[in-house]
Amino acid sequence: MDWVKRTDNCYKKLTEQDLAIITYLEKHQQELAEMTSQDLADACFVSRSSISRLLKKLEIDSFAELKFLLAQKESKAPVNQTDFSRVLSRYHRYIDQIFEKQDLHQLVKLLTTTNRLYVYGTGNAQKMEVESLRHLFTSVGKEVIVFFDQGEYDYIKVNVTSQDLVLLLSYKGESKEAINILKDLQYHSAKTMVMTQSSNNSMAKLADYQLYVPTESIRTPTKRTYEISTTFYFIIDQLFYDYCLAMEQKK
């Protein structure tokens, strides 16, 4: 059984952590050839036993077999181009995963019980997602304050209270600026939440609340690689809808 069939067949048994490891593997297939199981564990911020448990679920007998299966997948893949139909299929799985394995109710309750929402995105794509979030929530009267960098954060942080929520969006969760902001917020009383591509990253470990939002990297026929972040917009829309519903029920 090849790699794709194994991951598809075992999907129901996979945890959020397993999926994060698989995402890493599929994005770093060439690097894997030179890695040990400990190297992979370190790269994914997990233990070697977590890697072993994943291999067992996928019915893979050894780390060497894992390397072989991924090398085989790489050799069969179309050169310099992503199969977009597979990306769409994975997005259906990601959306199912968001509902099955993550508790959005807790996060919606958090949004309804905080006064102001401070929001920050680490890159250009995330800043566009932040703007979408700001537009939606301000349309129903939620006070949303967007800050763009460390300097703006330093300026506004004196106004942040225990009744506020600071939300940071990042794909990798390793932005030095965002990490510095989260470290500083540990000395303040505001609650913090991060939305990142995986649950195992530096930003997620520093925040009070985490939301795992998987994305896909695709390679176009022109050899350009970019990140499709549709799931970030989906989560924002879902949180907004649930927030509106919760606020109506409170009336």
Structure-model confidence comparison of residues 70 and 151, the more confident one:
151
Residue 216 to residue 229: CA distance in whole angstroms: 7
**What tokens does 75 get?**
């050799």
Query: Does the domain spanning 3-77 belong to CATH 3.90.1580?
Result: no
Residue 224 to residue 222: CA distance in whole angstroms: 5
Q: How confident is the model at residue 197 (pLDDT cuts 50, 70, 90)?
A: confident
Q: How confident is the model at residue 213 (pLDDT cuts 50, 70, 90)?
A: confident
Taking 80 as the threshold, does the pLDDT of residue 12 lie above it?
no
Every domain of the chain with CATH number 3.40.50.10490 lies at 101-250
The answer to whether the pTM exceeds 0.85 is no
Percent of the chain scoring above 70 in pLDDT: 84
Task: Provide the residue type at 13 as one letter.
Answer: K
**Confidence (pLDDT) at 160:** 95
**Confidence (pLDDT) at 79:** 45
Taking 80 as the threshold, does the pLDDT of residue 90 lie above it?
no
Q: How confident is the model at residue 80 (pLDDT cuts 50, 70, 90)?
A: very low
DSSP for residue 78? P
Every domain of the chain with CATH number 1.10.10 lies at 3-77
Output Rg (C-alpha) for the chain, integer angstroms.
Answer: 19
Give, for 169, the enclosing helix (H) or strand (E).
Answer: strand 165-169
Name the average pLDDT for the chain.
Answer: 86
The runs of H, that is alpha helices, within 186-229 are 202-206
Structure-model confidence comparison of residues 49 and 227, the more confident one:
49
The runs of H, that is alpha helices, within the chain are 3-9, 16-27, 29-32, 37-43, 48-57, 63-76, 84-101, 104-113, 124-138, 150-156, 176-185, 202-206, 230-250
Contact (CB, 8 A) for 31 and 44: no
**Confidence (pLDDT) at 82:** 54
Residues with Cβ within 8 Å of 197's Cβ and at least 6 positions away in sequence, in order, are 23, 170, 171, 172, 173, 212, 213, 214, 215
Q: How confident is the model at residue 8 (pLDDT cuts 50, 70, 90)?
A: confident
**Confidence (pLDDT) at 195:** 94
Residue 197 to residue 172: CA distance in whole angstroms: 6
Residues with Cβ within 8 Å of 206's Cβ and at least 6 positions away in sequence, in order, are 179, 182, 183, 186, 192, 194
Lowest average pLDDT, out of 7-16, 118-127, 172-181, goes to: 7-16
**Confidence (pLDDT) at 1:** 73
SS3 212: strand
C-alpha distance from residue 44 to each of 17, 59, 198, 212 (Å): 9, 20, 9, 14
**Confidence (pLDDT) at 207:** 96
Burial of 213 (C-beta count, 10 Å sphere; 0-12/13-18/19+): buried
CATH superfamily of 101-250: Glucose-6-phosphate isomerase like protein; domain 1 (3.40.50.10490)
**What tokens does 133 get?**
């979030």
**Confidence (pLDDT) at 45:** 85
- Give 228-247 pLDDT, tens digit per residue: 778 899 899 999 999 999 99
Residue 49 to residue 37: CA distance in whole angstroms: 10
**Confidence (pLDDT) at 221:** 65
**Confidence (pLDDT) at 134:** 97
